[in-house]
A = this chain, B = another copy of it.
Amino acid sequence: MQTPQKIAVVGSGLVGTLLAIYLKKKGHTVHVFDRSPDIRTVEFSGRSINLVMSNRGWKTLRDIGLEDEIKKIGIPVDKRGIHLQDGTYTTQHYGKEGEAIYSLSRGILNRRMIDLAEEAGVEFFFNHKIWDVTLSTATLHIGESERGEWTDLQYDKVFGADGAFSRIRHRMQRQSMFDYSQEFMKIGYKELHIPANPDGTHKIDKNSLHIWPRGNFMLMALSNLDGSFTCTLFMPFEGENSFEQLKDEKALVEFFANYFPDTKEVIPDLVEDFFKNPKSYLVMMKCFPWTHNDKVALIGDSAHAIVPFYGHGMNAGFEDITILNEMIEKFGDDWEKIFREYEISRKPNADAIAELSFRNFMEMSSRTADQKFLLQKKIEKWFSDKHPGKWKPLYSRVTFSNQPYSEALAIGEFQNNIMEKVMQMPNIEEKWNSQEVEQKIIDLLKK
């Protein structure tokens, strides 16, 4: 057990709240600050993408005894449901029989987590704006406005779980030797909505992650408990098939009729939602170091903001907690060592999931509409079922295992090189599950 400390967590999002529970259970006094009102008291914003919880996230919850509690508010999703423009609908299973990711509403999950944290004894301070931090003393500077009066609050440790535009990181960034990058995608997103049937059932299969892949843009839908779906339209801000072009009702309705004809029945409030909900940006943020002495540490999006195309933002953030907790158990009261080992362990894996997530946009928006790609996935699955010890597909490594992301990325590239060769075999369409293909893969694996 550690010597009890007074710890501030900045940010009451998913990672901040779960971290607070972990720290509280270690015996510390834990205060969570958030500049926003209590999410339990406000309406949702209409700018959310539904979350998917996979193995890494569940592990972090399980280790602190919360897995069952949270599974109650999730819906298992075991496949992609792919809607082609010509009306064809195909499915592609994510993993083996019984393997699934879970669709969760960010708002509902966050509210539940805050309840659980309060039950555990964490104290929350909403509408408290942290403007700055003195790193050397873990002192928070708090006030109504950035240029107004500030109050100082002194802690033993400060965790910055305050997201991609973290104020805590903002201070660290002005230190020498702090590496930092932020890169905005040319693609943004907008939330849309498929309501439930009158009897509360789902209008389309709730156990699929629905994708309408259209090249440089796509629509996506993930189920909610109440029978509805949260949809997300991803598209470029400018150029062909972009937000810029969907300026009025006519352009929007024509666009959807042309590209997403099968959504007409299920998205009745398209026009209202589209022009009411904000257009949101996607940013990739990397930095290093993540900690300052034994005083301050970044965690989750504040340390590594990624794009949502692998569904791993929350999972990677929760895994930060798992690793931090491992270091706490290993090094006890030596917080400098805990912080150092935590950032060294996590940084390459954060970079790897950033890369995997970035690449996955092309997979989701283009390649899922490509027969050759679907065949490749089928071959991988077939070979993997026959030789589970020899082949685990990249998606399964990332989503259904705890293998470090950096290893998954490296092995994924090795496997991809093999599959490129396999796909070039003559008549692969006919003989994809032949002994010849099987032997070819085995030979290539030996190299």
Contact = CB atoms under 8 A, between A and B. Distances in A.
Contacts of A63: none
Contacts of A180: 180-182
Contacts of A281: 176-177
A43 interface: no
Contacts of A177: 184, 281
Interface residues of A, number: 15
A150 B176 CA distance: 27
Contacts of A414: none
Interface string A223-265: 0000000000000000000000000000000000000000000
Contacts of A174: 165
A90 to B, nearest CB: 36
A147 B147 CA distance: 7
A183 interface: yes
A182 B179 contact: yes
A89 interface: no
A165 B174 CA distance: 8
A163 to B, nearest CB: 14
Contacts of A147: 147, 150
Nearest to A182: B180
A152 B178 CA distance: 31
Contact of A179 (B165, B176, B183): B183
A182 B176 CA distance: 10
Interface in A175-201: 176-184
A270 B415 CA distance: 56
Interface string A153-173: 000000000000100000001
A303 to B, nearest CB: 16
Interface string A278-308: 0001000000000000000000000000000
A173 B165 CA distance: 11
Contact of A181 (B165, B181, B184): B181
A211 to B, nearest CB: 26
Contact of A176 (B176, B181, B183, B184): B184
Nearest to A165: B174
A129 to B, nearest CB: 15
A183 B178 CA distance: 7
Contacts of A150: 147
Identify the interface centre among A150, A178, A181: most chain B CB within 10 Å of its CB: A181
A46 to B, nearest CB: 18
13 contacts: A147-B147, A165-B174, A176-B184, A176-B281, A177-B184, A177-B281, A178-B182, A178-B184, A179-B182, A179-B183, A179-B184, A180-B181, A180-B182
